[in-house]
Every structure is written in structure tokens, then in C-alpha cells.
Structure 1
Amino acid sequence: MSDCCSTNVQEVSEKSGSELCPACKEKGKKVKVITLKSMLKPTILSTLNAGLTHYFCSTSKCDVVYFDTDEKKYLTSEVKVSVHQKNSSSDVPICYCFGWTKERIKQSVEEEYVPNPVEHIRENIKEHRCGCEVNNPQGSCCLANVTSYIKSLPK
């Protein structure tokens, strides 16, 4: 008999299941409530249960942006801004604090602007000017996203 039905396995899957997006079943990234408070449209904000743990779903083909441990979902239509991970448009920001859109990053790299996007963002981080928790839907720094996007550009 397999271990798949044992009590220990079920307890582990129930605990880890709360991190899985109820729509796409991919693992979400924990976000602070302050991020949801700043990102949700006012009509949706009144449904927020601030006492629960919330997660960000970065899956591009999933319409869920946030979800909580009770599986309450917040969709792209319920968020104030376009979400980089869910919108491939060139005018969507990757860096929400300093306005680095996909198009602006691409142009900067092609024309070799100084400072480049990564340097510019790092300088502003060093000066404590970023507000990722309230500006970026993912609730954290964008540098990995910006770097990844730059690497994906044709050489």
C-alpha cells in the first residue's frame, strides 16, 4: 500500500495547499496586506480579510492576482494597475516605482542609456526611494523581473 493516504501526507498537503492559487494551482508568493490595500480597487477593498495570509499569483495565463488562505481570489480586473506578469503589453511597467515599462527598458538597452535601468533602480534603492510594497503588485522589488526581461531581449 502506498503512503499517499497516510495522515502525515494529508496534513502536509493541507498546509502547503494554502499557498497554491485556487485557479491555476501554482504556488503563490506571500505578500503583505499593505500591498493589497494599495492595489485593490476601492469597491473590492471592502471584501479584504486583513487577518488572513495573502499570496500573489505570478502565472501569466491566470486571471488571479491575489488569493488568501480561505481561497478568496482577487482578479486582474479588481486591481488598480496592469500587472506585468499578466499583461504582455509594452507599456506595462516592470518597475512600478520608477516607471520602467517594457518599451522604455528595451529602448534604454538598445540605445545604451546611462544609467541603464538596473543601475537607475539600484541607485534609487540605495537612496531609499522605492516603495515596492505599495507600488508593485507583487509587493517586492522588481530588479529580478527587470534583469530577466533584459536577458530575454534579442541581442
Structure 2
Amino acid sequence: MSDCCSTVQGSEMDNSEKCPSCMTIGKKVKLLTIKSMLKPATLSSFDADSTHFFCSTSNCDVVYFDSDKKAYFISEIKVPVHQKDASSTVPVCYCFDWTKEKITQSVESGLTPDPISHIRENIKENRCGCEVNNPQGSCCLGNVTKFMNQLS
């Protein structure tokens, strides 16, 4: 998991497909992410040989889809998905439990360490596990930064 927050994306992440529901281009995710996120009933019937993609569109119920256009919905995922759930208790950073609520409190009160510094320090110490904790299967820093900028 040492490469989960690497700033360099390999060619394995370059393929894209359109979500069969909203037609937005999805981001390729690793098999490990899908296997970590699907509920057991769904996991027992998914195609591990297909290429899988993450749909980040907020108003689309599809979280993952594969190259054969089979969709996996919010209800089939073990955790709430930041991009699809407006609740303040949903994690923006799944590895270190930075929820929307905690980030907002940190920004408003100027607490230290701030979310970005805290996450970066943990990345430096090789503690992140984005492939298995984050439904998008990649580092959350972009999401955390975007959320914090929306608070300003």
C-alpha cells in the first residue's frame, strides 16, 4: 500500500469508461479496492476479470461499474461514499477519519494539526491505506483540499 498516495499515477489508471447510469467518465480502480468495498452478497457475484471504474457523480446511485456496464450501487457498498453522501459524518479521509464535520470544526477553530498536515504526516510514515479504505481507491488529499476550499 505504499503507493496509495503517490503523486505519480501509473498507466494502469489511464483507462476510462462512461458510467452506464449518468454517462460520466469513471476512474479506473484496482481490484483490491472493489473487493474491500463490496458487501459480501454482492462480492460473491461480481466479475473479478473485468476492469472496474468509480463514478464520482454526486447524484448518481452507481458507485462502481465494470467494462461490461454492470453497475454496483450505493446500497451494495460497505461504507458511505463521500462524493455521494452529503451527511456531515461521512469521511472525506477514510484512513484517518477526517469527516466533513471534523474538517469544518478544524478550519473554523484553527486547530492543529490541520487535516492536510495530519494526513501528509501519516502518508510520510506510510500509514495510509487508501486502496482498501477509500471507495475511490486513491488518495483523499484532493477531496480534503477541495472540501476545505469550499468552506472558505
Instruction: Using structure 1 for the length normalisation, give the TM-score.
Output: 0.87
User: Which structure: larger Rg?
Assistant: 1
Look up the match of 1:123.
121
Q: Which stretch of the first structure deviates more once superposed, 42-51 or 72-81?
A: 42-51
- Give the ranges of 4+ consecutive aligned residues of structure 1 lying more than 2 Å apart after TM superposition: none
CA deviations over 1:56-92 (Å, ceiling 9, x no partner)? 0000000000000000100000000000000000000
1:1-155 pair list within 5 angstroms? 19-153=17-151, 155=152
CA distance in 2, matches of 1:128, 1:144: 18
Q: How many Å separate the matches in 1 of 2:59 and 2:45?
A: 24
Residue identity over aligned pairs, in percent, reads 66
Distance 1:119 1:19 in 2: 34
Number of residues paired by the alignment?
A: 138
Q: Which has the higher contact order (CA 8 A, sep 6+)?
A: 2
Answer 1 or 2: which has greater helix percent.
1
Please list every run of 5 or more consecutive structure 1 residues that lacks an aligned counterpart in the other structure: 1-15
TM-score for both structures, normalised by structure 2: 0.89
Cα RMSD after superposing both structures: 1.0
Match of 1:7 in 2: none
Rounded Cα–Cα distance in structure 2 between residues aligned with 1:46 and 1:54: 16
